[in-house]
Amino acid sequence: HYYVTVGKFSSILPSSIGASFMADIYFSSPGAISFLPHLRIDGDYQYLDKGKDSIQGPSLHIGPLWSFGKKYILHFSPLVGAGYYKITSTNSSDETFNRDKLSLNGKCIIGFNFKFYNFVIGPQFRMSYIHDSKAPLYGLGGGLALGYIF
């Protein structure tokens, strides 16, 4: 997935690239009409880098998943979680600042999947939030989901 950052750090770290692994747990058959949510677990790794400044690290999120459709599946999932990030920054006098930080996170994923036998593929719109008391990091972006339904 790819994010464009928004907020205080957008000029310092304008974009992010990452990869995630999601597990969707259905409590009824996928595509069945139900307004009760299923469960989504999402683990990812974010990498933001520009010159001498970077933020990188893994995170784990969990939350409800609403999905509608059988062959063409619309899904929506707000997630909460935590990440462990390594932050490196160099100030104007070339002093390097290194810090490891455990941070609360949130994200929302909205997508549209196409089902072909037990395989799914589809675009996703992703919103991300990494909490920091002084400078929270927001991201807006997208990704391509590839999956297999067991």
pLDDT in tens, the chain (150 residues): 999 998 887 888 899 999 999 999 888 776 566 678 999 999 999 999 988 889 999 999 999 999 888 888 899 999 999 999 998 887 655 666 788 889 999 999 999 999 888 899 999 999 999 998 877 889 999 999 999 887
Which residue is it, tokens 């609403």?
A: 66
CA-nearest of 122, 100, 90 to 109 is: 122
Q: CA 4 to CA 22: how far, in whole Å?
A: 21
Q: Quick check: helix, strand or coil at residue 54? A: strand
Q: Quick check: helix, strand or coil at residue 11? A: coil
Residues in the chain: 150
Phi and psi angles of residue 26, each rounded to the nearest 5 degrees, phi first: -95, 135
The pLDDT value given to residue 46? 93
